[in-house]
Amino acid sequence: MSIDSSSGDRTVSGGVVDDPILEISDTSVTYNDGETYVLDNVDVSIDRREVLGIVGESGSGKSMFASALLDAVPDPGVLTGEISYHREDGSTVDVLELSDEELRQFRWEEVSMVFQGAMSSFNPTMKIGTHFAETLKTHDKNVSEGLDFARGLLENLYLEPDRVLDSYPHELSGGMQQRALIALSMVLNPEVLVMDEPTAALDLLMQRSILQLLDSLQAEYDLTIVFITHDLPLVASLADRMAIIYAFQFAEIGPRDEIIGDSAHPYTRALLNATPNLDAPLGEMQPIEGEGPAPVNVPSGCRFHPRCPLATEKCRTVDPPLTVLEGFDSEHRAACHHWKEAREEISLNFGETKEWFEAGEPAEGPDQLPSGQGADAKGSPLLSLDDVEVHFTKEQGLIERFSSDPDAVRAVDGVSLDIQEQDLVCLLGESGCGKTTLGKTMIGLQRPTGGSIEYRGRDVWDADASDSDISDEAIRSALQIIHQDPGSALNPNRRIVDILSEPLRHTHPNISTNERRSRIYSLLERVGITPPDDFMDRYPHQLSGGEKQRVVLARALLMNPDAILADEAISAVDVSLRIEIMDLMLELQSEFDTSFLFISHDLSNARYFAEHGNGRIAVMYLGEIVEIGSPERLIHDPRHPYTEVLRWATPNLEIDAMEAEDPPIREIDVPDPVDPPSGCRFHTRCPVAREACRKEHPDLRELADADGKAACFREDPTHDYWDSEPLEGAERQPY
Count Cβ atoms within 10 A of the Cβ of residue 75 and give its class: 0-12 exposed, 13-18 middle, 19 or more buried: exposed
616 vs 584: CA distance, rounded Å: 19
**Measured CA distances, 612 to 271, 582, 593, 615 (Å):** 20, 9, 16, 8
Give me the sheet containing 20-31, strands edge to edge.
36-47, 20-31, 78-86, 92-94
Summarised one tens digit per residue, pLDDT across range 112-137 is 998 876 677 899 999 999 999 999 99
Residues whose CB falls within 8 Å of the CB of residue 130, separated by 6 or more in sequence, listed in order: none
Is 90 exceeded by the pLDDT of residue 409? no
- The confidence band for 392, taking pLDDT boundaries of 50, 70 and 90, is confident
Q: How is residue 598 annotated by DSSP?
A: E
> Residue 383: what pLDDT?
96
Which positions ≥6 away from 191 have C-beta within 8 Å? 21, 48, 87, 88, 110, 111, 222, 223, 224
Measured CA to CA, the distance from residue 386 to residue 414 in angstroms comes to: 8
Distances (CA, A) of 61 to 47, 66, 543: 21, 9, 18
pLDDT digits (tens, 9 = 90+) for 695-721: 999 999 999 999 999 999 999 999 999
Architecture field, domain 20-125+174-237:
3-Layer(aba) Sandwich (3.40)
Q: Is 546 helix (H, G, I), strand (E, B) or coil?
A: helix
pLDDT in tens, 526-575: 998 989 989 999 999 988 888 898 999 999 999 889 999 999 888 777 88
Q: 248 or 403, which is more confident?
A: 248
| Contact yes or no for 22/68 (Cβ under 8 A) | no
Residue 597, strand partner residues: 425, 565
Tell me which DSSP letter residue 481 carries. Answer: E
Per-residue pLDDT at 360 exceeds 60 = no
Give the other-Cβ count within 10 Å of 59's Cβ. 20
Can you list the positions of beta strands (E) in 170-219?
192-196
So what's the pLDDT on residue 6?
Answer: 38
C-alpha Rg value of the chain to the nearest Å: 27
Cβ pair 215, 7 in contact under 8 A: yes
What integer pLDDT is reported at residue 575 of this predicted model? 80
What pLDDT band is residue 483 in, cutting at 50, 70 and 90?
A: confident
Q: How far apart are CA 637 and CA 378, in angstroms?
A: 26
Query: If you average pLDDT over residues 173-179, what whole number do you get?
Result: 84
Q: What is the DSSP string of 303-346?
A: TTGGG-TT--HHHHH-----EEPTT-SS--EE--TTHHHHHHHS
Q: Look at residue 8 in the predicted model and tell me its pLDDT.
A: 39
End-to-end CA distance of the chain: 38
**Distance (Å, rounded) from C-alpha 644 to C-alpha 664?**
7
pLDDT in tens, 6-43: 333 444 433 445 789 999 999 999 998 888 999 999 99
Q: How far apart are CA 553 and CA 547, in angstroms?
A: 10
Domain ranges of the chain: 20-125+174-237, 255-345
pLDDT confidence band for 362 (50 / 70 / 90): very low
Q: What's the confidence (pLDDT) of residue 659? A: 65
DSSP for 612-641, please give it: HTT-EEEEEETTEEEEEE-HHHHHHS--SH
Strand partners, 254: 242
Cis amide leading into 531 (omega within 30): yes
pLDDT at 657: 67
Distances (CA, A) of 212 to 1, 7, 328, 604: 17, 9, 29, 20
Tell me: the pLDDT tens digits for 282-302? 777 888 888 889 898 899 999
Residue 15 is predicted with a pLDDT of 42
For position 7, what pLDDT does the model report?
38
DSSP structure class, residue 283: G
Beta-ladder partners of 690? 726
Cβ-count burial 398-430 (b if 16+ within 10 Å, e if not) = eeeeeeeeebebbbbbbbebbbbbbbbbbbbbb
pLDDT range class, residue 652, cuts 50, 70, 90: confident
Least confident of 13-27, 430-444, 592-606: 13-27
What is the percent of the chain where pLDDT is above 70? 89
pLDDT at 64: 94
pLDDT confidence band for 356 (50 / 70 / 90): very low
DSSP letter string over 110-171? IEEEE-S-HHHHS-TTS-HHHHHHHHHHHTT--HHHHHHHHHHHHHHTT--HHHHHTS-GGG
pLDDT grade for 354, boundaries at 50, 70 and 90:
very low
Q: What values do phi and psi take at 446, rounded to 5?
A: -135, 125
For residue 381, the 8-state DSSP code is -
pLDDT, mean of residues 365-369: 42
Distance CA 432, CA 411 (A): 8
